[in-house]
Amino acid sequence: MSQDLSILFEPFQLKGLVLKNRFVMPAMTRARTPAPGTPTELNALYYAQRAGAGLVIAEGTNPVPGGSGFPGVPAIFTPGHVDGWRRVASAVHGAGGKLFVQLWHGGRISSAAWQPDGRPPLGASAVKAENALFVTPDGQRGQPDVPREATQAEIDWLVEGFAKAARNAIDAGCDGVEIHGANGYLVHQFFSDRANVRTDGYGGAPRNRIRFAVEIAEAIAAEVGPEHTAIRISPLAAYQDAPVSDPSDVYPLLLAELDRLDIAYVHCVEGEPSGINTGQGAPEREFDFPAARRLFRGAWIANNGYDPERAARTIAAGDADLVSFGRPFISNPDYPARVRLGAPLNPIDNSTAYAGQAERGYTDYPALETEPAVA
């Protein structure tokens, strides 16, 4: 291992939670959880295989009914769901890892077909997402429905639902939760002045557009403690037709509120998720990520297009405490060990990245041989 990479293998104290290294496996939808969203032994094995990361963040998980717009997504709002997540947490901890669960509500990236009452999905406003990725319950791609604008009562219900989901995660033995406030989904939709055209206290001025996210973070921190509370953001993402026209007006305000709450970490996507080109004509925008990091005194996880060398430089410069690596963890369950040894990486099978048959492309990627083979 290069001396320049040694910082990646240093432990880190995350609000009293000791992470064994600076590698983070971020939430990645793998579409392997059967209806009604209860994690199985297969899901537990998948995450346990990747527990060599200092922190594992489990894939986007529905905190309330109707939060999905994709098949195969887990949930965490029933006792059965909690039992499934208890299985996952036990497996990850048994393999020496730490586990946060990402709480993900898709908002308008959905349709009436996914809603228990058959009504249009909830959104910040009744504005349809154009050129957005949506998958029907039977697995076909389509265009999301025009959402209905969430009422105050529905916003209150959502905030309470996120807090209850966080309690469920902690009761299942998980170490914390990450609010999905990125990539054009519900929380991000409130940030976006394209998706959010409300005229009440949740729309218009930047301070109003961050209010929903802050209320969720406050509710979770009150329910399970700020040390178990985190958020993922993507200031420059136009994905799912939800750009923020001036992120420098919105995100410093948000970070100040998150700093006040003293939550565990901010997980920041630098640019579009996975380098996606939205093709949606979003205006050219800039954002000073190192300066943003200094507005929040808790831990900072950098994400998007990092290789180990860049990750080490970023941490050494104080611009991040941890770095998340997505796709390498899909096909390399032992990614940190491979980096330490300079070992080659398994290629990824893109055809099974987001869906597939059981273990194929999910739990069948080989790890390095840890002991000499017996002749």
* CA proximity to 185, closest of 158, 157, 218, 156: 158
Beta bridge partners of 229: 177
303-309 mean pLDDT: 96
Q: Is residue 297 over pLDDT 60?
A: yes
Q: What is the DSSP letter of 75?
A: B
Residues annotated catalytic, as ranges: 185
- The structure tokens listed for 145 are 């429905």
pLDDT in tens, 333-358: 999 999 999 999 999 999 999 876 78
Residue 134: phi, psi to the nearest 5? Answer: -140, 140
Where along the chain do its domains lie? 3-352
Ramachandran class of 65: left when φ > 0, alpha when ψ lies in -120 to 50, beta otherwise:
beta
The answer to which of 11-25, 41-55, 149-163, 267-281 has the lowest mean pLDDT is 267-281
pLDDT band at 373 (very low <50, low <70, confident <90, very high): very low
CA distance 208 to 202: 5
Q: Looking at domain 3-352, which of 3.40.50.460, 3.40.640.10, 3.20.20.70, 3.40.50.300 is its CATH number?
A: 3.20.20.70
pLDDT in tens, 67-81: 999 999 999 999 999
- The structure tokens listed for 214 are 């802050």
Average model confidence (pLDDT) across the chain: 94
Beta bridge partners of 122: 148
Q: Where are the alpha helices (DSSP H) in 172-307?
A: 186-191, 206-209, 211-224, 247-261, 289-293
pLDDT in tens, 228-256: 999 999 999 999 999 999 999 999 999 99
CA distance 166 to 17: 17
Bigger pLDDT: 174 or 136? 174
Total residue count of the chain as it appears in this document: 375
156-168 mean pLDDT: 99
* CA proximity to 369, closest of 337, 328, 321, 342: 337
Q: How wide is the angle at C-alpha 141 spanned by C-alphas 135 and 146, nearest 5°? A: 70
In Å, how far from its chain's centre is CA 322? 15
N-term to C-term CA, the chain: 29
Cβ atoms of residues 42 and 358 within 8 Å:
yes
Residue 254: phi, psi to the nearest 5? Answer: -60, -45
Residue 15: phi, psi to the nearest 5? Answer: 50, 45
Q: Is residue 371 over pLDDT 50?
A: no
